[in-house]
Structure 1
């Protein structure tokens, strides 16, 4: 028997996915700044270019917010 309902596990895994997208697109946004010496490898970032990374970042932000509101409303 599962200790947590399926919807709780689903919302948590979706949160993990959204956070992963936000982190990897955030690394691409970080790489676009000329003031930082360190840069993350392109193979670990998401977005391809600054505009694409911002689109991924904001899409994941909305997904995370809606998923969080869904969790709160169902709970």
Structure 2
């Protein structure tokens, strides 16, 4: 059984509460659970920048950033 953790994300000015697996990347949550396919998966290794998002105004590669850290 996978343990899921509640998390509140501020996304495009909207507060969302979701339950997340500990090991899920922010990219997989944005695309898979929230249906936000504008964030692209490129190299899956933090090299290309296709998955870049802003967290607190700072750019991060969401393919290597755990969703629970967001």
TM-score (norm 1): 0.23
Q: Which protein is richer in strand relative to its size?
A: 2
Higher relative contact order (CA 8 A, sep 6+): 1
* Larger radius of gyration between Structure 1 and Structure 2: 1
TM-score in terms of structure 2 length: 0.24
